[in-house]
Amino acid sequence: PRVAIIRHADVRRMLMEQKAHAEGMRALTLYSAWVLDQIQLNPEDKGLAKLDDLLLPLVKGYCSERSYDLMGQCLQVLGGSGFTVDYPLEQYIRDLKIDSLYEGTTGIQAQDLFFRKIARDQGQTLMGLAAKIMETVQGGSEGDPFAKERALLGKALEDVQAQVMAMVGYAMAAMQDPPQIYKTGLHANALLFSLAETVMGWLLIRHAEIAQAALAGASAKDKAFYEGKVASARWFAANVLPKSARRRTLAENETGDLMTMPDEAF
């Protein structure tokens, strides 16, 4: 039988991908804004400024890239009519692309993240952020409804840390064999994505905890909102966080062959 477009499985998949990422990117941006507030309130805490520096390429690089991709999905939901000027999406897609280009392309943001914000800092700020995430990973009590999501978050964090170590290894090896540095560069964007998604997954689980607690006394109007927050966190943990494992494997097994390929072969 005919059904509303939202009842199609693929449409619901695309809508949830858009919803979970939009909420996650908003959470990442607002967390970064909160850190800026804390810098103003606690100017003596130099660690806050370093955390803000670490988060900046995640907000700029990841959010600009994924927003552009997801806007394409918004158009896809509407089918062929989404491509017409009847909807503003076609203009939004064109306008959005500038965000991943100006003030440093995503590749530059990714190199800034690794070389300036992680390597130069000897990983201290990253370890501090990881400790905060681990508090959530280990924060469940008996009968925890988010035990599965916490485990997925913990695995993603482990994969990010392993990828960082692989890239640090290549950078160190480059002191004796300079071309080794290319192995680090080849995976900088992937690291930016994995770290951003891990932070977003962490924040979404925190949101879900609050939403779950609020469900019991929620009005009919608010219930759907809270259920949506829980669903976003679950979907993101199950479908996005595992991507870090693949990126880790690729980084650890990098051969650098791409950099020895003749320019003419492109």
Torsion of Cα atoms, 49 then 52 then 53 then 56, to 10°? -160
9-41 and 63-77 are packed helices; what angle lies between their axes, rounded to 10 degrees?
A: 150
Closest CA to 201 of 159, 248, 164: 159
Run of H or E including 116: none
Rounded CA-CA distance 200/162 in Å is 19
Q: Which amino acid is at 167?
A: M
Q: Which amino acid is at 148?
A: K
Residue 263, CA distances (Å) to 258, 259, 266 in order: 10, 9, 6
Count CB neighbours of 190 within 10 A. 19
Residue 150, CA distances (Å) to 23, 238, 249, 252 in order: 18, 11, 22, 25
Choose, from 103, 158, 209, 227, the residue flagged as catalytic.
103
Count, in order, helices (H) and strands (E) of the chain.
12, 0
Rounded CA-CA distance 148/159 in Å is 17
Instruction: Decide if 254 is catalytic.
Output: no
Residue 92, CA distances (Å) to 75, 89, 261 in order: 10, 5, 37
- Residue numbers annotated as active site: 103
